[in-house]
Every structure is written in C-alpha cells, then in structure tokens.
Structure 1
Amino acid sequence: MRSLFLYLAASTVFHATAYSADEKPKDPAKKYPGENISWTPCGNTTEGTPLECSDIDVPADQFAPKNQTSKLKFNIPLIRLRSKNGTKNLLFNPGGPGASGVENTIKVGDGIFNATGRDYHILSFDPRGVKGSEPNASCSSLTQPEPSSPFTIGDAKLYAWATTWGKSCADIMGEHGKFINTPQTAADMNSILDAVGQSDMYYLGVSYGSLLGQTYASLFPNRSARVIIDSVAHLSEYYESKVETANYNFTAEVWEGFISECFKAGNRCPLSSRAGSDKELLDKVTSFIDGLGPEPMSTYVNATVNGFLTARDVWGGILSDLYNPGLWNMTATAVDQMMNGNGTEALLRWMPGGGEEEAEQEEDEEEKRPGVEESSRSVIRANDRPSGPAAWSQGLDSLVEELTPFYQNNKSKRWFEGWQPDYYMLQQWPINKTHSFQVTKDVKTAFPLLILQNQFDPVTPLVGAQFASETFNSSRLVVADQYGHTAIGTNDCVDESVRAYLGNGTLPNNGTVCQSEVKYFTPQNETKGFMQLDDDMSDGNGESDDEGIPPI
C-alpha cells in the first residue's frame, strides 16, 4: 500500500530494470555457498545500489499430497539487494494483493535498508499470478461500466459486466486460476527460503503483505523466526467475512483528522479560511463534494485533457491521498480550487487520463495480449475470500439485500461505495475455492511477531493490528500516534524497534506508543521521508486500476 521512506510523487510511473525472460543478461550468473539457485546482476535501485535477480519454479498446488505429482507450475521471479554485513535474507512483500516485489525493491530497497539496519539482504519476489510471474492472473479487458450518478446500490450494468468478466477469468487462466491465492503464496515463500538455503523466515510485510505474513506465521509457525507486519489487515475479516467493514469504517475518522489538521495549520492549508471551526469546515467541504453526485463539475483543460468530476471521483482521489500525509497540501489545494469553480488540479490529480501516467499505461497495454489484462488483485481476493454461490445468495436482488445495511451508515457509506464492484465480482465468482486456511487464535511462533501500526490509518485501521496481537502468542504491538498508511520509515521510534528486533531479538513493551514525527500541511521536502510503495491498489491519481477496487 503506500507511503514509507521516500515521498515519491503519487503519480510516478515506475519501470523495473530487472531482466525479463526474453532479455538474457550479459553478466555471468553467480551462485553463493549454501544456495541452490544462481543470480545475475539486473540493474540498480533508484539510488544506484546494485541488484541481482533469479527465479524459481514452484508447484501449482503446494499442499497436494506428496504422492500426487503434477506438471502444473508457476515461475516466480526473485530480486535481491545484498548487504555487505548480511548473513540472512529478509523477505519483503510490499502489499496489494497484486504489487510487484521486484518493482518495489528497485524503488524502495535502499529505504528498507535504512529502516531495518542493513544487516540483512533484502529479498523480494512477484507472487504467483502477479506481474513478472508466469502464468499471470489474467481476465478480459472488458471495460467496467461507469458507476451510476447519483449512486445506486443495484447497478444492472455492473452486475452484467461482473458475470461476463468472472467467466473470462476462469477461461483465460484455466487450471492455474484456482491456485492463485494467499495460502499458496505463503507456501511459495518456503520454496524461496529453501532455494537460498535458509531455514528460518525473516519477513517484512506491509498492508496486504501483513496479511501474507499472518497467513505464513499461522501455517508455518516453527519457521517464523522474525516476522514484522505493518499497516495490518484484519485477518479474520479478510478470510471469513463476506463484507470487510474494517477497511472503510474508520476512513471517516481519518478524513475528519485531515480537516482538523488543516484548520490547525492555518494559512498553510488553503481550505482553512473557509470556516470558523474545524467542524464547520468539515461540514462545508463534505457537503460540497457530496453535491457533485447529482451535479458533476465540468472541467476543460485542453482538447485532450478534459472531463467531469463526480463525488465518487473526488472521494476516491481523497482516499488515495489520505494514505500519505505528504500529499495533503496538494489534496487541500485541489479541493479548494474546486470550491472556487476550478476543477483543473483535481482532474489532473485524480482522473484517468488527467496526467502523463495514462499515456505511459497505454504504451504498456500495447505489449499485452489483445482483450486480456492482468487482474491479480481481483483474482487473489476472490480466491481467498468467501465468494461464489457457496458463500453468496445469487441474483442482483439478493446482492442488494446483502449490501444495503452497509450503505445506511452516513459517515462511512461514501467510502463503502467504492467497494461495490468488488462485491459484485465476489458474489458471482465462478472459480471454486481450493484453500482450506482457517484463522486460529493463540498461535505460538518460533519467535514473537513485531506488529507496527499507525493510530489513524485510512484503510487498515488499528483493529486489525489489535486482532493480530491477540492471535499470535507473545507478539508485540507498536503504535505510531500519527496519520497515514505504514509506520516503518516514517517514525524514528518505530524504526528503532525494528532494528532492535532484527538485530538482537529485543522485544518492545506490548502497546508501546511512538509519538508522531509527521508534520502536516508542509511542503513535501520539509516532511519526514516516507517510502512510497507502489502496492498496485491505486493508480496514484485516486483511481483504482483493477476493476474499480479501492486500496485495502
């Protein structure tokens, strides 16, 4: 998900320099003592640190009985940032689901080094079905219909689209499709450890990566020597609940915090002069944005950049920005200009095609199979979670009946609306679940987990971290008293806990609170550096890039 060590622009398009299967590296492969695979130099991080790449094949079904053999496999690309002092590998997952570990290591590997103490090699990978892994989790590129405006719960066009789209996923992926899920990826991490000759898991997972880490620690507690999870997804809600309320129930609190910090910032926040109190400011700004539902704002920049802004567009853009307080100045500027009748900044920030990123994305699309696109985020979620006729009553009327209660909370409904396409897909998902993972309590791992969490996170609220703390025996929870998504790399107190935990196994007191070091509504270069992860949950302009599903 986003915002750790570097405040990279949210609209940055990143192109990996790791080699692809069709580009044979010129440098000779290198094999290290105790490892079973060879590595080849494959470029540098964005800060110029050398990287090496490899890959492994893993069985499609990691949990099949040993007497059952199958030729069905996935190829998993690996990337490593070596430490001069390192004797062990720290596996890293940046989030998603659907984020590329290869791309993010190139982008933020040096930041991970700085936060963790440079005593470990940073080893990451593209999970099965994701990005450079083969085969990909792919579905039809059939365009999702525009949501109705004003919003309606029962959208017949969206329902018809979800029916067709789900069938395309099953058809395109074939036998591989049913094995693209989180428990299988957790088992793949053991294959990675075995390939590098390491018995114990040392792991850092952020957001969805926290879910992967919890899944791994539950399945393989005896190998879980050092597991760090940050911005913690609610394990039980994800695997067991048809509707994940934790993902949006607390977003309104963070939005209110944004407004409160804006008002306190005075003239540093463009919106602050519009009201005499933070409550009045909240009411004015919220009412204005909600009013774009029935009356969208027409915005014309030039012949190729133009459009109209709906309430859904703006709330989606704001949600994306709430991840990263370093962007809040730009968020406030865009909304303030809209309230003055000028939607240019908002269009450029939050709408598809508003910036240069869209053109670069279109260039990438030309390399893909016609009519097919990677859909790993949706596929993984549907294969992990309660989905299809086994979990959901069928038919649009039944879906509306199931979802209606979640739209009745006035504070959270505007955030829940963005999840509507996800539930349309989950209800009609045609691939039968193949994993049997069950959440259990009081899991005793080889060494206690370290759980990191911001107090005010827009998409993975504190309740997820608290649940993890209760689930894993003797685990330690460290809370940063600040806004934003991801704590590591944003707070020296948090980073000190991480380095002590990895360095000599020092455990902080459970419930340790680290005071905020984030300065709100300051120029980006004056704000404590965050690592900007590309978790592939949003395209950076406030728009989801995978069938409309917002970040989790």
Structure 2
Amino acid sequence: MNRITYLVAGLLASAAALPTSESTLQERNIGPAGRISSFKDIPSSPELHWTPCYKRFHCANLEVPLDYENPKLGSTVVAWIRLESENGTGTDIIFNPGGPGGSGVDYMLSGGDDLIKMTGGKYDIVSFDPRGVNASGIDLTCFPGSPEARDQYAANSGRYPTEQEKYAEAVAHGRWCSAVNNKTEVRYGGTVAVVQDMLHFTELQAAQDGSKKPKESLIWYYGVSYGTVIGQTLAALYPDRVGRVIVDANVNGEDHYAGVTDTAVEDADDGIQYFFKVCHEAGETKCPFAGKSSSPKDLEKRFNTILEKLKKEPLQSITPALGGPTIITKDMVLHQIFSWLYNPAAYFPYMAASLLALEKGNATMVLTILAELNRADDPGPFNYTSTAAGEVLDLVTAIDSAGRYPIKNVDEYTKAVDEIEKTSVWFGEGYATLNPLINAGMTIMPPKSQLFPGFKKTKTKNPLLFINTNADPITPLSSAKHMSTFFTGSVVLTQNSGGHSSEAIPSKCTRGHIGEYLASAKLPKEGTVCETDKKPLVDKITRRDVVVPLVRSHRM
C-alpha cells in the first residue's frame, strides 16, 4: 500500500451565505491562534476545549468513550483541528480526506486555507484524525508496541508468486493480527465509531455555541474517497442529523462493508484513455509522448507495445548516481501510472515524459523522474508513515466487514481474482491480487453498538450530494450511482474528467452546484454533467487552479 499525495483543485469561487447560527466563532471566545505545534502538548478532556495551535489553527484532544453504550469500558482521544473563516457564520463543515488512514489534521495544516476559499469564506473548516490515525488514540496495528516488527513485515511481505501462496500468507497475517489483538482496543476502531465521534463532537460544539437542543444539531460534512463511506454511514444511521453531506469520489459502501470492493477499478481504463485523449489534443510540444501519432488510438497502441516489450525484457539501469542496479518491469510501470491517474493535472506531464523515455529504452530517465518526484513529496510534520496508514486501512476494513467477508478459502479467492481481473484491462490484475486479501484470516469483531447493520432506503433531513468523475481510477461512477439509490432525494453530479474526485481538475460548473447546495440544499438536476474549465497538458493549470494536497490509501 503506497501513500499517494495528490494536488486537488479548489471547489468553490464563492458560495452564498448560510443563515446565521446561534453563535458566531467570535462569540466562542477561543482566543487567537497560538504556537503549540504538537498534539502531545494539548491537554485532553471529555469537554471540548480549543487550544491555539500551529500559529493559525485551534486544536482539541477530545476524550471519547471506546463504546458510547458502555462508557465504563474506558476512553480514547480523538484529535480535532479547526481553521476559522474571517467572515464565517459559525457553521462548521467537517472534512475527511479519505483512507482509511488519512490524517485530517495533517491535511488541514497544508490545505486548510484552500478549503476556506473553496467554500467561499462563509464556513469554518474542521477536521480530525479518526481513531487509530496519526494523533488520535487506539493503536490500530497488528504489531502492538513494535513498529519495527511491523515495518520489517511490511518490507518482506507480498513477494510470493502464486495465488495460493499469496492467500496463505494473507490468512496467516490475518490470524496473527486477530490473535494479538484479542484483548486490545482495536475492535473499537471501525467506521461506525468514527461517525459516533463526529456526532458527539457536533453536540458538544452546539452546546458550547448555546444551542438549547444540541442533541438535534445537524452535521455538515464533506468526505472524499473512504471519507464517502463515513458520509454514507452517517446518513444511514442518523438521517435526522444530516445538515449538508457532500460525498465525492465514492466508494461502494456496500462492498466496503462486505470486505471486497470488487468493481473499484472498472473506470481505471477510462482514466488512461483520458490521458491518451488530452495528450493527442495537446500535441508533441506540450505532451512529448504525443509524437506524430494520428489519434488517441495510436497512442494506446504505442503504450501497449511498451508494456509488451517490458513483459518480455524489463529495462535495466546501471547508472551509479541512482544508487545501484535497477530494472523496470511492466507491473512497476502500471503501478506507477495507476497512482498518476489520481491527479492528471499534476502528474500527466511526468507520465508523458516517462512513457517517451520507456519507448526509447531510457530507464535512467524514468528513474530520474521518479527520484525527483520522491524528493518533492512533503512528508508533513508527523511521524506517521505509509506503513502505519496501511495497517489502519487493513484493520478498519476488517472491523467494518466483520462476519461478512465472503472469501472462505483459496478456491473462492482465485475465483474472486478472476472476476476482478475482468474489470480492467490494464489494472485489474494488480488490484485483484491485493484487495480481496485485506480481510483474509481476520476475525476482529466490533461491539454490537458499532456493528453496521447495512444500507436500506433512507430519507434524510436534507438530501445528499454525490459527486464523481467518470474516469476515476479507484472509485467509479457506478459506485456513486449505486449508493445514491439508498438515499431519497439524493442526486449524482458527474464531472466529465479523469482524476480521483472532482477537485482533481477545476470546474466552475461543479463548484457552482456545490455552492448552491451549501447555501440552500438545492441539488442539480438528475443527470447533470459538468465539464472542466481546463484540460491537463492542453491548458496551463497553475497552483491557483490546483492547490490542495489530499491523501488516499488503497490497495493496488
């Protein structure tokens, strides 16, 4: 599991104001922002106490029950962070960047200002680290107390060549993980518990703002990728508490709770076709791989030729400056391209240069490009590694799907692999050998109060806004359409572009509909399709257009 950061375009140029809430941020008396730069220095409390932090933010370590229905079991701490809008009405939008395993705190420190701008400067942005993530409590790991053992296992796992061996390794890991967590707090780390924490936070904030009925306070929420599962779960369990819920780049929630998201890459081929289209349109000057090709189909043929050559004979690099001998395989190229499809605006130029280098047999150039990107990747201020985030992904998925995981033996695994491989010509094989194994051997069961009962037709207090691009590599449009059927009055807004979420490429059309929804809960007409303002490679997309880093965690 790789932790991929990607740049995301702004959502809104402006949005109409909401009705003023009972109390503005200025009346909360939480003081000016301060210089505390570690959640370790922020006191924890069962009450919501905001502490000035990170120069311009406010932070809180909120003590919450492990199990809200049985508080005697003990508590954990959830880290919250807020960025106030200068012209805010006091309405909080809770944001989750995805995962499972994405840090909302880390995200806010680099992208909070952009979220304020996205929402027109009318809303205050709040995010948090869900249980087990980064600065929050519960140690979601299969190697409690031994991160070195975890890292060593991660570095050495996944090397078995056959499906039978891959399945056996995954089952052994799942059984091990379940056994060592027999008496730990891991079982309290699922998505339902995260939703309950959001509800608890909203009630505490409403009470602090002077609401006479905090138990009726509404949640305003915006979630991306796995964050859509959180939003879908919130709407399913607490429909009367939905203020505004925007879910963008939708996971199929039903599949998530079953433990295998078997249609996740069905639009990934469209993502690479999108590259061929814009590359051809841009021409050789802007897209080096375009060359003299006469059509996008021509580019596709050349791409397939590159893959066939790599399959037959991987490229070799012996450049001393790169540290050692290296080969480039077909699978390595597909894995890298898959990650670049998340953010076309940022990565299509690198993709074009790399494909041209591969076509010319220049392995050194490809490796130099990758090294340059790795150096530019900002790890953030926390010692929260991709390996740690990967364990959160595994364990949250296992907890959420407890008792529902459909694969019981190696034959069923190989059958699942065969079916998933059919969903994508280029990426089905890579995804199929990993995603179905996340829950193999896992038997960690959440408490009854945190066991998700499943989706059913639900009428929410305010309708949900589903958003999806139609060439998303990991969360297909069909997932948004399927999950929308469970929520009366909800609408799916489609953006005609590649990228993981609508923010990947700017669209005034999409921004406008989001603004109307935030202002008045007005939804676009069913079937609305928004075009983007610019195209990767074809147009110059600047830092102003694409500004916010997001984190995703997926098995590929």
Q: C-alpha separation between the residues in 1 aligned to 2:454 and 2:8?
A: 29
1:201 maps to which of 201, 207, 219? 219
Give the structure 1 partner of residue 194 of structure 2. Answer: 185
- Assess, with a 3 A threshold, how the Cα gap between structure 1 residues 479 and 160 changes in structure 2: closer, same or farther: closer
Q: C-alpha separation between the residues in 2 aligned to 1:506 and 1:175?
A: 45
Q: CA deviation at 1:205?
A: 0.7
- Equivalence map 1:99-110=2 (5 Å): 99-110=102-113
Q: C-alpha separation between the residues in 1 aligned to 2:457 and 2:412?
A: 37
Are residue 510 (structure 1) and residue 526 (structure 2) matched? yes
Give the structure 2 partner of residue 130 of structure 1. Answer: 133
1:473 maps to which of 470, 488, 505? 488
Q: CA deviation at 1:414?
A: 3.1
Moved over 6 A (4+): 357-361, 371-374
Q: Which runs of 5+ in 1 are unaligned?
A: 8-16, 45-49, 539-548
Tell me the SS of whatever aligns to 1:77: strand
Q: CA deviation at 1:315?
A: 0.9
Q: CA deviation at 1:162?
A: 5.4
Alignment-mate amino acid for residue 240 of structure 2? N
Greater mean deviation of Cα atoms: 418-427 or 95-104: 418-427
Q: CA deviation at 1:153?
A: 5.0
Tell me the SS of whatever aligns to 1:443: coil
Q: Which runs of 5+ in 2 are unaligned?
A: 12-34, 143-149, 207-213
Contact (CA 8 Å) 2:99, 2:553: kept in 1 or not?
yes
Give the structure 2 partner of residue 113 of structure 1. Answer: 116
Q: CA deviation at 1:200?
A: 0.8
2:355 maps to which of 324, 335, 338? 335
Give the structure 2 partner of residue 399 of structure 1. Answer: 413
- Assess, with a 3 A threshold, how the Cα gap between structure 1 residues 346 and 165 changes in structure 2: closer, same or farther: farther
1:319 maps to which of 322, 338, 343? 338
Contact (CA 8 Å) 2:268, 2:427: kept in 1 or not?
no
Structure 1 length as normaliser, TM-score? Answer: 0.82
Contact (CA 8 Å) 1:490, 1:528: kept in 2 or not?
no
1:499 maps to which of 515, 519, 523? 515
Deviations 1:157-185 (A, max 9, x none): 67326513651465258431122111111
Give the structure 2 partner of residue 40 of structure 1. Answer: 51
2:436 maps to which of 413, 423, 428? 423
Q: CA deviation at 1:232?
A: 1.4
- Equivalence map 1:246-395=2 (5 Å): 246-267=263-284, 268-273=286-291, 275-302=293-320, 305-306=323-324, 307-326=326-345, 327-348=347-368, 350=370, 355-356=374-375, 364=383, 375-385=391-401, 391-394=406-409
2:457 maps to which of 439, 442, 465? 442
Q: CA deviation at 1:2?
A: 4.4
Deviations 1:495-552 (A, max 9, x none): 12222222233333233222221322157654871244332427xxxxxxxxxx23xx
Greater mean deviation of Cα atoms: 134-143 or 250-259: 134-143
Q: CA deviation at 1:381?
A: 1.6
Contact (CA 8 Å) 1:36, 1:196: kept in 2 or not?
no
Deviations 1:443-462 (A, max 9, x none): 11111112222222121111
Structure 2 length as normaliser, TM-score? Answer: 0.81
- Assess, with a 3 A threshold, how the Cα gap between structure 1 residues 42 and 290 changes in structure 2: closer, same or farther: farther
Give the structure 2 partner of residue 160 of structure 1. Answer: 169
Q: Between the two proteins, what is the percent identity of the paired residues?
A: 24
Greater mean deviation of Cα atoms: 491-500 or 413-422: 413-422
Give the structure 2 partner of residue 545 of structure 1. Answer: none
Alignment-mate amino acid for residue 375 of structure 2? E
Q: CA deviation at 1:291?
A: 3.7
Alignment-mate amino acid for residue 403 of structure 1? V
Deviations 1:49-74 (A, max 9, x none): x1111121222223x3xxx4433322
Give the structure 2 partner of residue 432 of structure 1. Answer: 445
Give the structure 2 partner of residue 55 of structure 1. Answer: 61
Tell me the SS of whatever aligns to 1:498: helix
- Assess, with a 3 A threshold, how the Cα gap between structure 1 residues 125 and 348 changes in structure 2: closer, same or farther: farther
**RMSD (CA atoms):** 3.4
Q: C-alpha separation between the residues in 1 aligned to 2:132 and 2:397?
A: 12
- Assess, with a 3 A threshold, how the Cα gap between structure 1 residues 330 and 516 changes in structure 2: closer, same or farther: same
Q: C-alpha separation between the residues in 1 aligned to 2:178 and 2:455?
A: 31
Q: CA deviation at 1:436?
A: 3.2
